Amino acid sequence: MHLLAIKTRRFTSSLASGLLRRRCVSLIACSFVALNVAMAHGQLLERATVITNARIITGSGKVIEKGSIVIKGGRIEAVGAAAKAPFLSKKIAGAGKTVTPGLIDVWSALGRTGTAGDGDATSRAQDGFDRYARDDFREALRNGITTVYIGADGGAGVNGTGAVFQLAPGPGRSAGKVQKKDAALCVNFGSDQSPLSRLKTFAAIRKQFQSAVDYRTSLEDYEEDLKEYLEKLEERVKKEEGDKKDSKDAAKDEAPSDDEKPAPKPADEDDSDDDSDEEEKDDGDDDHHSLDYFFAGADNKTLPAGNGKGDAKNGKNGKDGDKKKDEDELKKPKKPAFSAVSEVVLKAIDHELPVRIEAHRSADILNALALADEFNLDIVIEGATEAYLVAVALADAEVSVILGQVGRSAVFEDTEFRRHSARNAERLTDAGVKWMISSGGRDPRASRFVGFNSQMAMPSAGTKSGLQWSWLTRLTGDASRFLSLSQQVGRVARGMEADLVIWSGDPGDPASIVERVFVGGKLAYIAPQLAGGGS
């Protein structure tokens, strides 16, 4: 509006005639109406959205009992009791409502297509994400989920890289925006395997890391060889030039070293095109001349093969025996075959990618720790069903875990979950192991209930005061920090992406409904009750 007013003033002042001015006012009025309509559709100018007088749970453990949130440009512009609504902003009455950051499922299967399992480290979760799984996304939003980490699914082995997605509305009927590519290297220690195949699985995984290390070594060796080769090559080229010079300036044959150094350098590839080209041509000509010189009277055409070798042998004849030998052995080093898998695995070894290892049984978890130790990896254990049995080892190694579904039954499950305990989290807490809670990464539909899952996981939640919102913090501020996205999502704070959920009441009460969800400042979900019945 301010902007508009200024423009208007400038416009009107530039007009002298009162008549014109009057006409202009009506024109402005018209344009104002048009502008308003346009703004309502978010086309012309983006209007700020303000959620007023709501209880705000910030995601970092703080609660603002009555505050406002200003959303503009996809981000949170201001938060707090003092936050003022900009003029002409769109207001959403937040009285009696609770606003939280969008929930984050740090190990999800939402939107994952296919059953998969035949990939390797080169698979990428973003390739498997179905942006048109609209119903599933809607369900997730309806339960307050806005961000999910999707792993590269697969069987036992190194399965590829995971990615983080934001459930932002996309073009057409699609949704989901890649927020972070290649967020982790996904390794699965297999499930429901016989002890023998477990051994094989682990050996195979270990081998992949080992061969990545070997691959690097061979690459480094190659680089070294190549450097040496290039040096020698340069030397040889120089020498040839020197020889040429020798032959040209036959009189000065004993003093080439002085000349050579300042001379136009070993006309090499790195110089500008023009120079080197010309130089090379010259060289070529000279070369022939020099050859002619050496093999006086011989026909160029009949001698090429002999010349090549002869040059090496005869050219340096009697000058330096050692060098001659070197020249003979000047052999182009062979580049090791490219390994796409090792390239990815090396990123993990270089700490560019955290490694997520799905392991449930205690023995597997210990194996994972050993693997991390051997290759110096940043690992996180996914699933970690029996983590409570090896909690001390996890604490010592400072490895954190991501827990799956707390409420699963242990009775008819396969061997991975046989020792499932709903009190896993509690005992990990006691042992000082850091843990995150998720939907378990296997079931696309479970992701929406990660909130309930977190409530179930919290040790002594509800029994101690002050821990009331720890389940929520775990899924927002803690989760974003865990995914290294703490500057983007997971908190209601100035400058963060506006991923916000407006709950009708206490988010921990199943009777509360999600009324609106903003993702990246855009309204991604509105409850059918508010939207007027349409779904």
Report how far Cα 328 is from the mean position of its chain's Cα atoms: 49
The DSSP code for 170 is -
Distance, in Å, from the CA atom of 529 to the CA atom of 533, rounded to the nearest integer, reads: 6
Place of tokens 């973003």: 126
Query: Which one, 39 or 363, has the nearer CB to another protein?
Result: 363
In the complex with another protein, the residue whose CB is nearer, 41 or 301, is: 301
H-helix segments, 316-433: 321-328, 340-349, 362-375, 391-397, 424-431
Nearer to another protein, 290 or 486 (CB): 290
Considering the complex, what minimum distance in angstroms separates the CB of residue 151 from another protein? 11
Pick 343 or 378: Cβ nearer another protein = 343
User: Which of 402, 405, 459, 407 lies closest to 430, judged by CA?
Assistant: 459
Least distance between another protein and beta carbon 80 (Å): 27
Nearer to another protein, 476 or 486 (CB): 476
Q: How far is the CB of 142 from another protein (least distance, A)?
A: 9
Give strand pairing partners of 91. 50
Q: 379: closest CA among 347, 359, 357, 349?
A: 357
CB-based burial, 516-531: b 16+ in 10 Å, e otherwise: bbbbbbebbbbeeeee
Q: Which is nearer to another protein, 101 or 128 (CB)?
A: 128
Long-range contact pairs involving 59-64 (C-beta distance under 8 Å, separation at least 24): 59/100, 59/101, 59/472, 59/473, 59/476, 59/477, 59/480, 59/490, 59/491, 59/492, 59/493, 60/473, 60/477, 60/491, 60/493, 61/469, 61/470, 61/473, 61/477, 63/469
Coil vs helix vs strand at 472: helix
**Is 17 or 463 the residue whose CB approaches another protein more closely?**
463
Cβ proximity to another protein: between 53 and 283 the closer is 283
Task: Provide the minimum distance between the beta carbon of 453 and another protein in the complex, in angstroms, as a whole number.
Answer: 8
Q: Tokens standing for 214?
A: 């070997």
Measured from the CB atom, the residue of 68 and 385 that comes closer to another protein is 385
Minimal distance in Å, beta carbon 22 to another protein? 44
- Identify the CA nearest to 518 among candidates 487, 488, 497, 495: 497
Nearer to another protein, 138 or 494 (CB): 138
Residue with Cβ nearer another protein (80 or 333): 333
Residues 390 and 431 sit within 8 Å (Cβ to Cβ): no
Give the nearest distance from C-beta 225 to another protein in angstroms. 11
CA atoms of 402 and 506, how far apart (whole Å): 26
Q: Token digits for 45?
A: 């100018």
Q: Which residue has the tokens 């069903």?
A: 385
From the CB of 440, what's the least distance to another protein, in Å? 9
CB atoms within 10 A of CB 335: 12
- Give least dist CB 526 to another protein, A: 16
Q: Which is nearer to another protein, 89 or 314 (CB)?
A: 314
Q: How far is the CB of 289 from another protein (least distance, A)?
A: 14
Residue at 413: amino acid letter: E
CB of 232 to another protein, least distance (A): 11
CB 185 within 8 Å of CB 193: no
Minimum distance between the CB of residue 433 and another protein, rounded to whole angstroms?
16
Task: Select 96 or 308, whichever has its Cβ closest to another protein.
Answer: 308
| In the complex, least distance from residue 122 CB atom to another protein, rounded to whole angstroms | 4
Q: Virtual CA dihedral for 103, 109, 113, 115, nearest 10 degrees?
A: -170
Of 338, 344, 400, 342, the closest CA to residue 161 belongs to 344
CB atoms within 10 A of CB 443: 14
Question: Taking the complex as a whole, how short is the minimal distance between the CB of residue 437 and another protein, in angstroms?
Answer: 12
Q: Are 155 and 186 in contact (CB under 8 A)?
A: no
H/E run at residue 6 = helix 2-13
